Each structure stands twice: as structure tokens, then as C-alpha cells.
Amino acid sequence: MAGDSGLAAVQAKEERKAKAAIKAKAQRRADEAEQPRLAERREQANALVNQSLRELDSSDDDRAIATTSEAIRLDPKNATAFNNRGFAYGNKGDNDRAIADYNEAIRLDPKDATAFNNRVSLISIRPSRVSLISTRTTTTEPLPISTRQSD
């Protein structure tokens, strides 16, 4: 009898392993099927980011905010979209939203100094209108250091 319970335990363990393998295989198939759609959404988001640059150049901040918001919906990990939307919010004087977007851009891509620079510029130009609490980031990456060599 004791041998039967040991055998049942081994069989149950093997069944769990088989079910887990089937589930993992199904997840891999789903991930593979999703890859082309993800790539297409990223491509669309990048096109919208480029469009937002033209809108920012023509001072159409409201349109740039709408365009970058759509880019973020398509690709929530697009740091440039957050940076561009932050720039448009800053132009409109919505400094807390600008800082929040710069913070998110920094979180997503801590090695890109653009969002750091834009955030510092906004704070230095309009320090009394920016909430200091909103300038905090949670990145664990060190701040970028200029690569310019001193003479």
C-alpha cells in the first residue's frame, strides 16, 4: 500500500509537469503570433512620434498632445512619445503633466539625456510653477554624464 501512494504521487507530479509544458507551449505560440502585431503597433507609434515633432515645430501643442497620446496608446514603452508630449505640455504651461511625462520617459530610457535636459530646462525656466514632488524619479540608473572631453 505504501508503494501505491508513492507511485500515485509520482504520477501526479508527472501529470502536473505535462500540463505545465502544454501551457508553456501554448503561451509561446501566442507570443509568436503577437510579435507581428507588436511590431506593427511600434511602427505606427514611431510614425506618430515623427508627426508630433512636426506639430511641435508648428506650435500646434494641442495636436502634438493628441498625437503623442495615441502613440503612447499603441506603444506604452515609447520613451520619445512621453518626452514629446511632456514638451507640448510644458509649452502650454501644464508643468506637472510635463514633469510626469519626462519622468516616465526617463524611467523607460534612463540613458537618453533628452528627457533629463527637458525636465531641467522646464524647472529652471519656471521653477515656481513646478511641483517639486513631481520632479522625483524612481530610476535606479545613474544620471547621464556628458561625454564631452575637457580641453
The whole-model pTM stands at: 0.66
Per-residue confidence (pLDDT) for residue 6, from 0 to 100: 80
Which pLDDT does position 132 carry in this prediction? 46
Q: Please give the angle made by the CA atoms of 47, 76 and 33, to the nearest 5 degrees.
A: 85
CA count, 13 A, side-chain hemisphere, 78:
28
What pLDDT is recorded for position 53?
95
d(CA 65, CA 81): 9
Cβ proximity of 77 and 107 under 8 Å: no
Instruction: Reply yes or no on whether the pLDDT at 143 is more than 50.
Output: no
pLDDT digits (tens, 9 = 90+) for 57-114: 999 999 999 999 999 999 999 999 999 999 999 999 999 999 999 999 999 999 989 9
Q: Are 95 and 122 in contact (CB under 8 A)?
A: yes
d(CA 41, CA 133): 33
Q: Pick the range with the lowest mean pLDDT from 30-34, 55-59, 93-97, 126-130.
A: 126-130
12-135: CATH architecture = Alpha Horseshoe (1.25)
Query: What residues have CB less than 8 Å from 105, skipping those under 6 apart?
Result: 79, 80, 82, 83, 86, 112, 114, 115
Segment (H or E) for 114? helix 113-125
Give the model's confidence band at 28: pLDDT under 50 very low, under 70 low, under 90 confident, else very high.
Answer: confident
Q: Would you kindly state where each structural domain of the chain is located, as residue ranges?
A: 12-135
Provide the pLDDT for residue 127. 59
